[in-house]
Chains A and B, each alone.
Chain A
Amino acid sequence: MAEENHRHYVQIDEKRCNGCVICMKACPTKAIRVKDNRVARIEGVCIDCGECIRVCPRGAIKAITTGSGASRISPYTIISASPVLYAQFGEDVMPNDILLALRKVFKYVYDQAYTHELCNVATELYIRENRGREDAIWPLISPVCPVVNRLIAYRFPSLLKHIIPVITPREIAARELKKRLYCESVFKTKEFGVYHVTPCSAKMISINEPMFLEASYLDGAMGINEVYEVVKKNLHEVDEDVMLHRSGGVGMGWSLCGGEIAGLDEGSYLAVSGLRETILYLEKIEMGLLNDIEYFEFRACVEGCIGGPLTVADPYEAKRTVQRLVRMFGQEKRLKFAQAQSAYKEGWFFSEVERKPLGGKPKPLSIAEGIARQERLEDILRKLPEKECGLCGAPDCRTFAEDVADGKALLKDCVFLGWEKKHGEQA
């Protein structure tokens, strides 16, 4: 079945998991089950959002990444760092020092935030073009958050065409780094790899199974939490006087919810963060209620990427740090608009891959079968107590009813139904 083949990059440590229901309840796609009172397992479609990683009280859930160790193997490893990294060490540590500290370990380090401005230009030009189109689709949706892209492909496939076809900054950065290094390098090999230092648990899947590219330009990802200690240690030993940090406030502001649209010209834009809110807005867009908005910046993590599951600093302290950096480096654009515009016209920003819905729930063969299944489901649901306890192994009564209707669970697994029966017999 499609959903059993679906890959994900979240791993549950069966030794640490005690089978509580916390991750199962937190999962926005209801992909987790805790059957037979044992351990949590991912059985449905996982969109790699990392909610389970965040809520697990026993630290039993981890994101699978390339890891900092693995990527050190090659001497030609290039690191492209998310600006969220700059917000991890407090207000007084400057981005350049952080990049230099990282360079003590990895020879080539790149400030990815610079490409954010480039993508702002591309987005703006795309919105302008759309305004002139008679068959324009509104609202457009940012392609940046890989969790949101997967959420749309899985739960809102009719909105896939709203996601703009601009390649994300992390991919553009990786593509250009590779081009440049290949030209400059005497080693015309594929030995160098570009690795992304990221706050995001969904980067591995977006690298290994990109939705809007034939193949990712990135070779792997490591969590900010995996480089944090080594950067922290090396910060005291920075002795180079090289400028690696190129981005301004606009690029760095992307770490916060609202940072992407802050880099756009006047328009009707909205930034929404957190999965719960994102789902609510996607439902409204699907109902056609938000056609007056031109562009949506959705971020699955609350407050934006600074709230990513692979970060170390407190997200609100990180937010303060980013706000300070934005003030300090200014909101002026650092790149030449005309140059970016001509690149846009040459198609430099675009991906041509068709947007496909993710294989989620197996589609019923016909409307008649769909209705019949729904009837079964409602029948089962009427028998359930709606206590939403999760003891049956499904996150809530409705999901349990779905499982029973699809033959994946048995009605007797509901502890309340069992209890009532016993209680009735005794009375």
Chain B
Amino acid sequence: MPHLTKSFAIKARDYIRGGDVSIQIQGLLKTIGFDAALIRRASVCAYEAEMNVVMHGGDGTVTLTVDTDGIVIDVKDEGPGIENIELALQEGYSTASEEQRELGFGAGMGLPNIQKNADGLEIESEKGEGAHVKIVFKLRSNGG
């Protein structure tokens, strides 16, 4: 089965490059030829996950895996971890700093937005141990 894996590095607090990884992922999915609606869902999730790492996570890695079953976006970081996953999944809950809010982030929509757009979401994290977010998109027979 054709299968592609590609990793991208994310740097903490790099607001200038923040978002570049998801744009690269979007471009890659476009070249492969996925349906536009699926690409939009996947790139929104990639963006939210990437910005979470940029803002809270410390350095991290995004690994994109693509095969004929679908798309998996796997994000790992070395940050402080998510203290309360249930709370983090609530719309409007945010631990963003004042400085980050001034940059337009911290609306508390990151993880909820991923949950809304993805077909599957797994979060593994403990305080002080970093976070591991796995986002899954299933491919339907029509390419979307």
Contacts and interface: CB of A to CB of B under 8 A. Distances in A.
Contacts, number: 63
B47 A371 contact: no
A372 interface: yes
B34 A367 contact: yes
Contacts of A287: 22-23, 26, 40, 43-44, 47
Interface string A363-389: 110111111111100100000000000
A283 B23 contact: yes
Nearest to A375: B4
B40 A288 contact: yes
Contacts of B128: none
A286 B43 contact: yes
A192 to B, nearest CB: 44
Contact of A283 (B2, B26, B139): B26
B31 to A, nearest CB: 6
B32 A374 contact: yes
B3 A289 contact: no
Given A158-B40, A287-B44, A289-B44, A368 B26 contact: no
A141 to B, nearest CB: 16
A371 B66 contact: yes
A157 interface: yes
Given A287-B40, A287-B43, A287-B44, A367 B4 contact: no
B32 A364 contact: yes
B68 A371 contact: yes
Contacts of B66: 371, 374
A381 to B, nearest CB: 10
Given A283-B26, A286-B43, A158 B31 contact: no
Interface residues of B, number: 25
A370 B39 CA distance: 14
B64 to A, nearest CB: 11
Interface in B1-42: 1-4, 6, 22-23, 26, 28, 31-34, 36-37, 39-40
Contacts of B32: 364, 367, 370-371, 373-374
Contacts of B139: 367
Given A287-B22, A366-B143, A370-B32, 5 more contacts: A283-B23, A287-B44, A370-B31, A371-B32, A374-B28
The 7 A-B residue pairs with the shortest CB-CB distance, nearest first, are A158-B36, A370-B32, A370-B33, A371-B2, A372-B2, A287-B43, A364-B33
22 contacts: A158-B36, A158-B37, A283-B23, A286-B26, A286-B36, A286-B40, A286-B43, A287-B23, A287-B26, A287-B43, A288-B40, A361-B31, A367-B32, A367-B68, A367-B139, A368-B68, A370-B32, A371-B2, A371-B3, A374-B31, A375-B3, A378-B4
